[in-house]
Structure 1
């Protein structure tokens, strides 16, 4: 089953009838919702809402927007057959949460449901009546535009604390902060992901090459090149030195993991608004320089860039890479596990749980 995306969500909402006023999925929420406009492929969605009990009507209501950012946050949390709660996903932010929840429930692939809630207090467990959730069941579509409840009598949820990832004491060198095609915040986000990849590799026992032009980054008061597990010079790696032309091809690749001087688990390009083609081109250059060596060629990119990664990775000139997609959310999920659970003893194949193969063979 393909990953659910904002494109799927917005497309489904765009197919809902526009000549209808919809009730909220929560019967205790008074008011009506009207879809004004749906901007493909990923939003925003414009709606009107009003409460007839207060004498309000369509004419007097204002147009409100459900942002693309909000849509992506929700879409990224959707997994097949797993209930989701929008209030929890969005952390109480966005005042159109209940509207988006309703619009999703009106589409054929989403039901609303009330799974039980596991409650643990003082060593005693019980299952109580749960809160409203949405559940994605694409193989069991209901009638479009009709709110439909899914009975889940044997399903219960144990809520774990929300996870957060912290990037501490990260300083960018001056030559990274000015000039170029990326503004300072984009550069900072790109660098945060590089640091996360380095720390994941460190926890998994890999040594990491960081692009030559990024070695001036200061992390925890030390230059990145002086951090444990960072490779200071590519020429010292037996894998690279065995292939003439490999070193210059690899020098500016964002991140490469090495293991035991014999393996190269992943070659990764971090693409943040800079386009995917440049990263694929650099990795193709490395593959051409060392064609007999088996590794994973990976594009690391924001979650909302998945479609672009899939499209570019399947261009004829890049098919030999058999590229993978490592979303920012997957990077940070693995980073969180590595830094909080002392992850060790896993094989390279473990990476395949996070790096999605996107080439169509």
Structure 2
């Protein structure tokens, strides 16, 4: 059967058909917020919604009106094809705090389902099938009841994104004693470090890599030997005058500096196999050792979906709130990497980075 392209008008009308009296749950059960539709402006938006949250340990509800822009609606509509999974986080490249709200409402309409297609990961010359991330899928020939989220089984479907996949076959871990699942987790952690180093290089920045990862090899050279990797934190201009700062920062996974070492666009902890608390504690110690760095951008990079709730909870704890933590999903790191492979001139690297970050403190 032939289908016409899915449009922003189709999307807006689908959400407009939902009951205004209903409060809608997010597909992730651990998410504390819920949504109610206030107004849909046809033909293409914007969509005004109310986000309702009950803070932990409290009875009263926090209500916030937010708007889903026409631009968001158009971007998601352009990515929708019949019977093909769509990763909403990847569509928006980590930007837009309201993208999960838009995905949630669309999943409650009758032609959209939640699905978890497998994903093909390249390991050297071979491939392996890994568990998939959350996607939505448009099934125009198979409607379900509106107002509820249904899951579509897609066991025979895998996502192959050869043009976007990054293979780091030239990476050699400095922790060869690890085996099995531990080794796989460590390799993914190191891959993210390499990607962040290469992104920094493309943006005209230098990078510090955690001291215990200096021995990771990429393209036959240790990370500490890479051209844009800082060799000694004690010699960085931004940390002069703060005797404890180099020691406090030496185990932080990745710190971006400008070429002169005077400004710090990002301080990044990669959380994969360990708890979020350890990374937040390291960054808190770094900030306390150099108080002038309080207004820098502190980032937790972590797998999509799995860590989002945990980061939101920890970032809002009193001892960490002053860090104003941002969340950088792994999919956004890949998006950032692929975009920085292009010739990029005249951009503000700090503002560019922030388009990929989520703000856990926003609710």
Q: Give the shorter-chain TM-score range.
A: 0.5 to 0.7
Q: Residue 277 of structure 1: SS of its match in structure 2?
A: helix
User: Match of 1:309?
Assistant: 311
The 3 A distance-change label for structure 1 pair 87 and 162 is farther
Q: Does 1:144 align with 2:152?
A: no
Deviation of the 1:318 alpha carbon: 0.2
The alpha-carbon deviation at position 316 of structure 1 amounts to 0.6
Deviation by residue 1:151-183 (Cα, 9 ceiling, x = unmatched): xxxxxxxxx98522222300012xx23369971
Question: Normalising by structure 1, what TM-score?
Answer: 0.59
Please say which of residues 290-299 and 250-259 is displaced more in the overlay: 290-299
Q: Which residue is equivalent to 1:261?
A: 261
TM alignment of 1:229-308, pairs within 5 A: 229-259=228-258, 260-293=260-293, 294-304=295-305, 305-308=307-310
CA contact (8 A) 1:105 1:111 kept: no
Aligned residues of 1:314 and 1:360 also touching (Cα < 8 A):
no
Name 1:328's counterpart in structure 2: 330
Change (3 A) 1:343 1:89: farther
Q: Provide closer, same or farther for how the CA distance between residues 227 and 162 of structure 1 changes in structure 2, counting only shifts above 3 A.
A: closer
Aligned length: 238
Aligned mates of 2:304, 2:149 — CA distance in 1: 30
Q: CA deviation at 1:11?
A: 5.0
Between the aligned partners of 1:257 and 1:190, the Cα distance in structure 2 is 17
Which residue pairs with 1:206 in the alignment? 205
Instruction: State the 4+ residue runs in structure 1 displaced beyond 6 angstroms.
Output: none
Query: Structure 1 residues 145 and 200, CA, compared in 2 at 3 Å: closer, same or farther?
Result: closer
1:105/1:134 contact within 8 Å kept: no
Instruction: Evaluate the alpha carbon distance shift between residue 324 and residue 88 of structure 1 in structure 2; reply closer, same or farther with a 3 A threshold.
Output: same
Match status 1:134 vs 2:138:
yes
In the TM superposition, 1:98-117 aligns within 5 A as 108-109=108-109, 111=111
Summarize the alignment of residues 1-361 of structure 1 with structure 2, pairs less than 5 Å apart: 8-9=26-27, 11=29, 80=73, 82-83=76-77, 84-85=80-81, 87-89=83-85, 108-109=108-109, 111=111, 134=138, 143-144=146-147, 163-173=164-174, 176-178=175-177, 183-259=182-258, 260-293=260-293, 294-304=295-305, 305-339=307-341, 341-347=342-348, 348-360=350-362
TM-score relative to the length of structure 2: 0.59
Deviation at 1:9, TM superposition (A): 2.6
Q: Which whole-Å CA distance do the structure 1 matches of 2:28 and 2:246 have between them? A: 44
**What is the rounded CA distance, in whole Å, between the counterparts of 1:179 and 1:11 in structure 2?**
34
Secondary structure of the equivalent of 2:275?
A: coil
Shift, 1:111, TM fit: 4.0
The offset of 1:290, in angstroms, is 1.0
Q: Pick 1 or 2: higher relative contact order, CA cutoff 8 A, min separation 6.
A: 2
Looking at structure 1, the residues matched to 216 and 333 of structure 2 have their Cα atoms a distance apart, in angstroms, of: 20
Distance 2:278 2:344 in 1: 33
* Unaligned 5+ runs, structure 2: 1-24, 31-71, 88-103, 113-135, 140-144, 151-160
Q: Indicate if the aligned counterparts of 1:106 and 1:144 stay in contact, CA closer than 8 A.
A: no
The 3 A distance-change label for structure 1 pair 223 and 143 is: closer
Does the Cα contact within 8 Å between 1:301 and 1:327 map onto a contact in 2? yes
Deviation of 1:85 after TM superposition, in Å, equals 3.6
**DSSP 3-state at the match of 1:298:** strand
- Structure 1 alignment gaps of length 5 or more: 1-6, 13-78, 92-103, 113-131, 136-141, 148-159
Deviation at residue 238 of structure 1 after TM alignment: 1.1
**Equivalent residue of 2:265, what SS?**
strand
Residues in 2 aligned to 1:342 and 1:255: alpha-carbon distance in whole angstroms: 24
SS at match of 1:177: coil
- Distance of aligned partners of 1:288 and 1:10 in 2 relative to their CA distance in 1, 3 Å threshold: closer
